[in-house]
Structure 1
Amino acid sequence: MQPGQDPYGQQPHQDPTAPPPPPAPYGQQPSSGQPYDPYAQPPTSGQPWGQQQPYQDPYAPQPYGQQPYGQQPYGQPSYGGTPMYPNAGYPAPGGQQNTLGLVSMILGIASIPLVCCYLGLPVGIAAVVTGWLGKQKSAQGLANNSGQALAGLICGGIGAVLGILYIVLVIVGLNLPDTY
């Protein structure tokens, strides 16, 4: 491209809002006298052969290391390794750690109906422990779901108490003499 030439193909002192000239109708020759070929190379603008720039597809992939300003496109290997995409499969750094509160709430809610299967006590204890740890994470500012952790703590406590009560009632019921 020569200095002073517009990279977008506009001529100097040309109105950019003006419509382009219409192409020659099909079968007629343009004003240059040669037949119109839509697949032909664009005509040269009087430049000598050695100064012409070769056609370069702007959408073609660039050879490795020739990206502008040192940028690498997505999917290109960085440092010779596998393609890396931003945050591919990894949580954002400094993100919230809400797992303990969520697990506590799920275990706490599940511990109440599991009392009838003798699982209310261990699941309730697990809910209380994870709820306590979730509340500590929330107090440290590492999590933002203290309500879930508190719900898991309370439901887990209820499930553990009901589990103990159920086991006591089963043991007492087995030790009662048959009166009939």
Structure 2
Amino acid sequence: MGRHADPFAPPGTSTPAVGGMAGPFAAPGAPGGYAQEQPVPPPPIAPDGPGQVPYGYPGGYGHPGPPGHVGPQGYYGWPGMAPMPSNGLGTAGLVLGIVAAVGFCLWPLAIIAGILGVVFGAIGRGKARRGEATNPGQALAGIICGAAGIALGIGFGVLVIATS
């Protein structure tokens, strides 16, 4: 029985025979085609620490870990999520204030929208001050635009009533 060359071997290499010659994927200088058994070095660690705790690690991802183990947050279990900011009232105050300032020609509607814009803007400012919302500028703009809409609506209403 003759030996057949491996058709998938790279050019210039030979596959090991049963006798034990080095094959195409053997480590350089390895006798018999096998790499020497050497210890594998540990993976590198970033300067700021090993990073995120892997899945299934004690104390990670809500698993309470062994007794006496306290997680990185300082307490047991899942830390939970921070509540979403409630920016709705500040945004509503801004929208109503703009509607009041732009639509002052419809003076009864402008006065009502302006009052609602000032009220919603003030409530939104209070929420932003307590840390429940993240849009104190929009709430302030709602108060300013609402007050301008009220003033323009009253002025236009006086002008309409005085000229009729």
Q: TM-score, normalised by structure 2?
A: 0.49
Q: TM-score, normalised by structure 1?
A: 0.45
